[in-house]
Amino acid sequence: MGYHKYYAHQSFQADFWVEVYFVIFGASVGLGSARKWAMLHRLHHRCTDETDDPYWSQRGFLWAHWGWLLAPHKHGKRILETILTPTPDAVPGAEESKAILNRTCTSDADASATKETASTDIFSSPILLWQERWVWPLFALTTIVIPSFLAVYVCHDSWVHGLIYPGILRMFACQQAMLSAESLGHRRHLFSSQPFSDSNSSMDCANPIVSLVTFGQAHHNFHHEFPHDYRGAPSRWSFDPTKWGIWALSQIGAVHAVYRAPQSAVQQLLLQQEQKELDRVRASLHWGTPLSRLPRITPREFRSICADDSRLYIVISNIIHDVTPFMDQHPGGPALLHASRGKDATKAFYGGVYGHSAAAVNLLATMRIGILDGHDDDVWRIAAHEESGTEPHRAGSKTAEAA
């Protein structure tokens, strides 16, 4: 909550004593200072899936999970040494480092992301500076001293049990939960759900086990689109202890200015991504030759090509179709199609003989060969339907007679 939602994303504003709690007990997770962790996390959001992403998943699962801690990020180290100082503008090389930060990311992210990454207001906080100086003594205090003391003097147990269970094992569980959000949240081969955006490798996972392992951060695709949101997922029923904790603190006035993304913005992304998926599937299907690419054929030319007894041509909505391949498969039999040979069968197709289904309309579109020159109202009505992605079913029946 403190390292991630408060320091990295500024999802809310905290009172002084809440911030003191964050820096003291946040050190117990063993991930270093809040300043460095938050800065690298912002860099991750700024440069997701690029070589300058500290948690870049292309380096492998182990790197994204823990490796980045053992091998400090090459640009992150220089940025931390300059920008993350109490007065960065007064430090030699600070402006150069800000430029480096901008160059490290090759994507066209908006200016607000850059401003968030390079901001120094919260990183100049005296509390954060104090924690950075004393982070490892604080780690020893909260992971070794306090658990051992509570085990002996409160629980009347041995200090060893206090060190192991509320100390080391608790630290390990909390640490793995924070690290798993990044290592699991970008595994395309494990989770393929990207309901908000597919512009990066972040994934959503509705599996309750993954939600438990990541401590409610399984909806990573949502988080990457709305990092400022105090929630980990838009659903009120999702497992999200961090969200519940922030909400509880806001109810007692310990935190305020809690940010929540507008529901309309969430719905817009969901709709846009759904449309993108539909368009992708639609493009993979055969819908017939687009009307704009069909040749225009005069009635005289049409009568000429109908003289070929080996082919069966009919006109529906002023569009010429070669139904020869489908002749033997027609449910009404070949005789019914032969009766409309070289004629306008629009009325018969759209209910005069049998009201064909939407599937039949789509199948018919794959048999187009040309547009009969003349009355084009129905043709362009169908074209408008197809361009908008709606069903051109029950098209008008006023067409020119082909014969």
Question: How many helices (H) does the chain have, and how many strands (E)?
Answer: 20, 6
Mean pLDDT over the full length of the chain: 82
Q: Which bin fits 355, alpha (ψ -120 to 50), beta or left (φ > 0)?
A: beta
Report whether pLDDT(77) > 70. Answer: no
- Cα-atom radius of gyration of the chain, to the nearest Å? 32
Amino acid found at 221: N
Domain extent listing, the chain: 2-281, 291-388
Residue from 2, 3, 4, 5 nearest 230 by CA: 5
Band of residue 333 on the pLDDT scale cut at 50, 70, 90:
confident
Report whether pLDDT(200) > 80. Answer: yes
| Helix pair 34-46, 111-118: axis angle to 10 deg | 160
Which range of 97-101, 184-188, 245-249, 376-380 scores highest in mean pLDDT? It is: 245-249
Per-residue pLDDT tens digits for 354-395: 667 888 888 999 999 999 887 665 665 666 666 666 655 444
Q: What is the mean pLDDT of residues 76-81?
A: 51
Token output for 158 = 């041995």
Return the sign of the alpha-carbon dihedral for residues 210, 215, 216, 218: negative
Residue written as token pair 């909260």? 142
Residue from 343, 315, 310 nearest 327 by CA: 310
pLDDT at 162: 93
Contacts of residue 88, defined as CB under 8 A and 6 or more positions apart, other chains included, come to 82, 94, 98, 120, 124
CA distance 29 to 181: 15
Q: What is the β-pairing status of strands 255-256 and 296-297?
A: unpaired
Q: What is the mean pLDDT of residues 313-329?
A: 90
Who has greater pLDDT, 59 or 87? Answer: 59
- Domain formed by 291-388, architecture: Roll (3.10)
Q: What is the mean pLDDT of residues 120-143?
A: 89
pLDDT at 88: 35
Amino acid found at 172: F
CA distance 186 to 56: 9
Q: Which bin fits 216, alpha (ψ -120 to 50), beta or left (φ > 0)?
A: left
